[in-house]
Structure formats: structure tokens, C-alpha cells
Amino acid sequence: MKVTEKDVAYVAELANLELTEEERTGMLRDLNSILEYVDRLNELDTSDVPPMAQVSDRYGVDEAKQGSARFAYASREDILEGLRKSLPHEEALANAPDADEDFFRVPKVIER
């Protein structure tokens, strides 16, 4: 067993999930079974292999350049207004479970 009950509780906390007792038991079983399967990746020696984070890098990145200039393909001129006008407050707040006219409302964070 790679993952313990304690790990499940810790990861759930990181992921902002609570999980019921029953869900935790199922998760323990499933994560261990999946991670055991995933372990086959260790059959491969990847010590000299670079990681691939993005497909775009393969056709866009200019390897001759340094730093952010390498990613020039993804940049554009700055536009003061933005590419799209910002949403009016009313529209931006329309889906909020709780809001006033200008802000999303949440339970109090700081106690006085």
C-alpha cells in the first residue's frame, strides 16, 4: 500500500475536499490500485529525457532566443481596453451565490 489513510486525509485537505468516511475508504482503495498501475512508468529510464509540458512548445517556441522571447508566438501587443471589454458588475455578479452591488460576499475571514 502506497497511500495510507493519513495521506488521503492530507490530500483531501490540500484539494479542499472533505469526503465522508465511506468516500475515504473507496479513495484509499482506488488510489492505491491506480498508483500501482502507474508504477510501470518506472520501467523506463528517463534520466536524459526532457519533460514535455505543452504541445505548443513544439511548434511555437524559438529555441534560438532566451527567456520570455522564446515564447513570442504566444504574445501580442498590449491593448489598453483589453481584447474584450470587461463585464459590467451586474453581469459578472449574476451567477454569484451571494453578492451585493459590487462585491462577491463570503463568510467573514478576519475576526476583530
Partner 1 sequence: MELKSLTIDAARSAVQERTTTALALAEAHYARIQKEDGQIGAFLTLSKERALEQADRMDRMAAEGKTLPALGGVPVGIKDVMSTRGLRTTAGSKILENYIPPYDSTAVARMEAAGAMVLGKMNCDEFAMGSSNENSAYHPVRNPRDLNRVPGGSSGGSAAAVAADMAVVALGSDTGGSIRQPASFCGVVGLMPTYGRVSRYGLIAFASSLDHIGPLAKTVRDAAIVLRTIAGRDPMDSTSADVPVPDYVGELDKPVRGIKLGVAKEYFGEGLDDEVRHAVEAAIDKLKGLGCEIVPVSLPHTPYAIPTYYLIATAEASANLARFDGVRYGHRARGVKTLAEMYRRSRDESFGAEVKRRIMLGTYALSAGYYDAYYLKAQKVRTLLTRDFDEAFRKVDAIVTPTSPTAAFRLGEKSNDPLAMYLADIYTVTADLAGIPGISVPCGETKEKLPIGLQILGKHFDEATILRVARGYEQSS
Q: How many residues does the chain have?
A: 112
104 in contact with partner 1 (CB under 8 A): yes
The C-alpha atoms of residue 31 and residue 7 are separated, in whole angstroms, by: 10
Our CB check for partner 1 shows the closer of 43 and 64 to be 43
- Which x/- pattern, by CB under 8 A, does the window 2-41 give for partner 1? -x---xx-xxx-xxxxxx---x--xx--xx-xxx-xxxxx
Using CB under 8 A, which residues numbered 32 to 91 contact partner 1? 33-35, 37-44, 46, 49-56, 58-60, 73-76, 83-84, 87, 91
Our CB check for partner 1 shows the closer of 42 and 66 to be 42
User: Over the chain, what HEC string results?
Assistant: CCCCHHHHHHHHHHCCCCCCHHHHHHHHHHHHHHHHHHHHHHHCCCCCCCCCCCCHHHHHCCCCCCHHHHHHHHCCCCCCCCCCCCCCHHHHHCCCCCECCCCECCCCCCCC
Residues that bind partner 1 (CB under 8 A): 3, 7-8, 10-12, 14-19, 23, 26-27, 30-31, 33-35, 37-44, 46, 49-56, 58-60, 73-76, 83-84, 87, 91-92, 94-98, 104, 106-107, 109
